[in-house]
Amino acid sequence: MLISKIMQYHLARNVILYDELDRILAGGLETVLLSGAALGRTVYHSIADRPMSVIDVLTD
């Protein structure tokens, strides 16, 4: 039960972070994702599996 609540928390938080990331990427800047944001959508089964508190983005 506790693990489920933790996963729900991470999912809710990551949905907000990825929404912000999508807004950044839609702006047309050349970007490189660093750390968790890059891994959350490519390596993990669910974005809830990769806890994040920030999005690291490198721009040109």
In which domain, by residue range, is 38 found? 2-59
Q: How far apart are CA 47 and CA 37, in angstroms?
A: 9
Q: Is the predicted pLDDT of residue 33 greater than 90, yes or no?
A: no
pTM: predicted TM-score of the whole model, two decimal places: 0.80
* Tokens of residue 50, six digits: 């990769």
Q: What is the pLDDT of residues 36-58, one digit of tens each?
A: 888 888 898 888 888 888 889 99
> Angle at Cα 36 formed by Cα 46 and Cα 25, nearest 5°?
90
The number of folded domains in the chain is 1
Q: How far apart are CA 22 and CA 24, in angstroms?
A: 5
Q: Is the predicted pLDDT of residue 13 greater than 90, yes or no?
A: yes
